[in-house]
Structure 1
């Protein structure tokens, strides 16, 4: 059974060891250590959640305010190899999550590694627009953005 609980630092440390190869590559391309990146994202998040299947971590997701006074949120999600096994639930839950966060922020914006084709398809499916590729840190990235309607 899938459960959703507030994310913790222990969850971040656990997930960092179990990241999907593509998620790990994206984090490393941004110049971050997976543990540090997850802990920083978690501590800056307005809200963050951990999804588990019978105790096994599927993913963590959250949203960080871009600034203290702005209306832009920076959503993040990193997953384990269990994400594909829960594809349908993952797709439905992330659609619900994005709608919820658009109630908190007028705009959601983050970057996506151009090599991570599954993430690019997923972001398009969620209704995000994507910029042209641009160099960032150690790779080519796109800005993914979605505005409240």
Structure 2
């Protein structure tokens, strides 16, 4: 099972040393951001952020950016370490309960996913997100899927 803990500077440094290639490609296609820029922007947003660890090893940093204090909608995001693919079972065991806990705080979650990232799209579908048809998006105009999930 994975542990979900508050993000520390050590988690950030570890993630930047082992970030997944599909995430790097997505940052660039969406906004021409480096991994450090994308992670910094994600962590600076108003909202919640966590690290998922398995046996003390970082799997990912994820969170929800809240647009304003007046809304319960959020932009969900996740940046994965390469070892998440090797420890996928440990990660998947806790995904649904963690998402349920997030949905107890946010009524609607959404974001965009690079259409080239098939593994992420399958995972989002498994979690029950609605995946919309791919359309040009971001700085590179590549196909991205808008995805969303609401409680209720």
- Aligned positions of 1:78-93 closer than 5 A: 78-93=79-94
Which whole-Å CA distance do the structure 2 matches of 1:94 and 1:116 have between them?
18
In the alignment, what sits opposite 1:49? 50
Which whole-Å CA distance do the structure 1 matches of 2:56 and 2:145 have between them?
34
Distance 1:140 1:38, change over 3 A: same
Q: CA deviation at 1:2?
A: 4.8
Deviations 1:83-141 (A, max 9, x none): 12221221122212211111111101011000000000000000000111111122211
Are the equivalent residues in 2 in contact too, given 1:9–1:42 (CA < 8 A)? no
Gaps of 5+ in 1: none
Distance 1:112 1:12, change over 3 A: same
In the alignment, what sits opposite 2:149? 146
| TM-score between both structures, scaled by the size of structure 1 | 0.89
Q: CA deviation at 1:53?
A: 3.8
Are the equivalent residues in 2 in contact too, given 1:48–1:61 (CA < 8 A)? yes
Q: CA deviation at 1:22?
A: 1.0
Are the equivalent residues in 2 in contact too, given 1:9–1:39 (CA < 8 A)? no
- The runs of 4+ residues in structure 1 deviating greater than 6 Å are none
In the alignment, what sits opposite 2:112? 111
| Larger RCO of the pair (alpha carbons < 8 Å, separation 6+) | 2
Aligned alpha-carbon RMSD (Å): 1.8
Which whole-Å CA distance do the structure 2 matches of 1:60 and 1:126 have between them?
17
| TM-score between both structures, scaled by the size of structure 2 | 0.88
Distance 1:45 1:84, change over 3 A: farther
Gaps of 5+ in 2: none
